[in-house]
Chain A
Amino acid sequence: METYILAIETSCDETAAAVIKNGTDIISNVVSSQIDSHKRFGGVVPEIASRHHVEQITIVIEEALAKANMTPNDLTAVAVTEGPGLVGALLIGINAAKAFAFAHGLPIVGTHHIAGHIYANNLVQPMEFPLLALVVSGGHTEIVLMKEHGHFELIGETRDDAAGEAYDKVARVLNLPYPGGPHIDRLAHEADEAVKFPRIWLEEGSYDFSFSGLKSAVINYKHNMDQRGEEIIPAHVAKGFQDSVVEVLTAKTLRAAREFGVKQVIAAGGVSANKGLRTSLEETFAQEGIPFYVPPLHLCTDNAAMIGAAAHYMFVAGVRGNMAMNGRPGMELKTWV
């Protein structure tokens, strides 16, 4: 089935719209970032994010249609991120999507944000099943097994902080600007030495993660050094922290890939833009002989193209939303087939 889907994503601090053909081809992809507005607060402020979304939403949708050189009549459906995310932010995309779909009599599909991140890979090369996805972002750290399109099995997840959250908190300890992830990645890359921090493996055989202990270890290290009147070397701390995160993420993903005999391993989510993590996963799976993919940077961070890719398979499977669609801030990733 040929589809042209207008996709809208406003779950956090990017106002985004895209037109996607057949779940694989990006016809247009527009992202309006608010990062500069949140920088001075050291993190995303939900109310300010919502205010920006309402300012940008029609501009971004219009640009996505204009770049695609399409009118509403050319579209098959409208897709929108239904959750998870900041509820006030989600509501802007959802209500714009509903109003647009209603105005033109188009069907609407509510998409899961993390399903979107996983499907960002489908815009680069076809997904092959069974597939293992490592989802790492500011709000998520999950290992997901997919046996076919629309099938999601949560193999492991974080029990406390998401990896991206730990990055942001450690960045704050090191006085790095927001968002801190890229700065830690850069410092770690430059460092020749690493402070030794623990690896949190949890109980034998578990695919779950925990990063709050690691975060505390970094805070304690800084505190002890301060007490002794010694200066910390931020690059060494960054490398020590990143080494721990990357080693645990890589090892658990590898073990899961072996156990489930997957044909493909993919990384998704904002933290998959991290160079240290990418390199480690690439080297590990090259050795293992399992194809590993990670989307280009602009498809790792929040965008609407990924929502359109996932929505194509939902649409083909007959999934439809309606005018009563609401934001679902705590939405679970569920199989739709």
Chain B
Amino acid sequence: MIYLGIETANAPLSVAVVEDGNVIAEIVQNNKVTHSNGAMPAVEEVLQKAKITAAQIDAIAVSQGPGSYTGVRIGVTIAKTLAWTLQKPLIGVSSLQALAANASLYSGLICPLVDARRQHVYTALYEGLTLEEIMVDTHESIDDLCIKLKAFARPVMFVGTDVDKYWETIEAQLGHLAIRAPRAIDLPRASQVVHIAMAQPLSTVEATHHFVPQYKRIAEAEANWLKEQKK
């Protein structure tokens, strides 16, 4: 079974071809090329490297968010269009779980972290080794996150390119319990997206039309409108 994996939820880009669990080819980059510019050429390139055609893909796995609205939408749009038109199953995976999977050899807690601006992050919490979900994907302030993590009184490994931005706060709050993941595993990998997807049931092709990003936040205009209504 051949999977195409797509990960464009944040600034880094990754695409991979995974056959029966083996990674055949993978592209991972964080070079400031926009996803609209770079994602489809990367899909084309990774299939070439894996020596397969689009028609040979058996299923598509995509990082469904949360993350950059536009980034998530580009990955989801490409994935759902390919899945629909090639009539293949489409599986969505949490962008945070995919990032946490990079650190899965760690035995403490794993906290994937993505900057959502204004001192807020997209984050979750996983148990090391098993990748069991401890805290679901959420959007919250870095201060609230630190308070929650402190309550566990266990070492936490932080993973992601945006960790550095908040490291001072994290270290001040958690002290020696805060562990910075090695930078080599900061970039999300489409092969991880596929591996997580492989543990999930295959979707029906009809479900593809209704596949949408997991933003974890309502649009700002909508939030403001709701606030107005309450007044």
Of A50, A59, A72, A100, which one neighbours B73 at CB under 8 angstroms? A50
Q: Mark B205-226, 1 if CB is under 8 A from A, else 0.
A: 0001110110100011110010
State A50–B215 Cα separation when bound (angstroms).
12
Contacts of A95 in B (CB 8 A): 36, 39-40, 74, 77-78, 81
Asked if A250 is an interface residue, CB under 8 A from chain B, the answer is: no
For chain A, the bracket of interface size reads 20 to 34
- Asked whether A269 is an interface residue with its Cβ less than 8 Å from the other chain, the reply is no
One of A48, A54, A98 near B76 (C-beta < 8 A): A54
- The yes or no answer to A324 lying at the interface (CB within 8 A) is yes
User: Of residues 22 to 77 in B, which have CB atoms within 8 Å of A's CB atoms?
Assistant: 34, 36-41, 43-44, 54-55, 69-70, 73-74, 76-77
Residues of B within 8 A of A (CB): 34, 36-41, 43-44, 54-55, 69-70, 73-74, 76-78, 80-82, 84-86, 208-210, 212-213, 215, 219-222, 225
Interface residues of A in 95-109 (CB under 8 A from B): 95-96, 98-100, 102-104
Cβ-closest 3 pairs across A and B: A99-B81, A323-B40, A45-B221
A54 contacts B213, C-beta separation under 8 Å: yes
Question: Contacts of A92 on B, CB cut-off 8 Å?
Answer: 73, 77
- CB neighbours (8 Å) of B73 from chain A are 50-51, 54, 88, 91-92
Q: State the CA gap A96–B211 with chains docked (Å).
A: 14
Other 15 A-B pairs with CB < 8 A, given A47-B221, A54-B80: A45-B219, A48-B221, A59-B209, A88-B70, A91-B73, A95-B39, A99-B43, A99-B78, A99-B85, A100-B81, A100-B85, A102-B40, A323-B40, A324-B37, A327-B36
A62 contacts chain B at the CB level, 8 A cutoff: yes
Find out whether the CB atom of A96 lies under 8 angstroms from the CB atom of B77.
yes
Q: Please state if B77 and A40 are interface contacts (CB–CB under 8 Å).
A: no
- Contact yes or no, A47 B40, CB < 8 A: no
The interface residues of chain A lying within 8 Å CB-to-CB of B38 are 324
State A74–B55 Cα separation when bound (angstroms): 17
A58, B73: Cα distance in complex, Å: 13
* Interface 0/1 of A43-84, CB less than 8 Å to B: 001011011001101110110000000001000000000000
Assembled-state Cα–Cα distance A327/B74 (Å): 12
Q: Which residues of A contact B209 (CB under 8 A)?
A: 58-59, 62
**Which residues of chain A have C-beta atoms less than 8 A from B55's C-beta?**
103
Is A326 located at the chain interface by the 8 A CB criterion? yes
Q: Which residue of A lies closest to B221 (CB)?
A: A45
The answer for the CA separation of A98 and B6 in the assembled complex, in Å, is 15
Known contacts: A98-B40, A324-B40. The answer to whether A72 contacts B219 by CB under 8 A is no
Task: List residues of chain A with CB within 8 A of the CB of B76.
Answer: 54
Rounded to whole angstroms, the CA-CA distance of A40 and B228 in the bound complex is 11
Complex Cα gap A88–B210 (Å)? 19
Task: Kindly state whether residue A94 has any CB partner on chain B within 8 Å.
Answer: yes
List 16 A–B pairs whose Cβ atoms lie within 8 Å, in order of A's numbering. Answer: A45-B219, A50-B69, A51-B212, A51-B219, A54-B73, A54-B76, A57-B81, A58-B85, A58-B209, A61-B85, A62-B84, A95-B40, A96-B81, A98-B78, A99-B81, A102-B44
CB distance from B49 to the nearest CB of A (A): 15
A298 to B69, CA, bound (A): 31
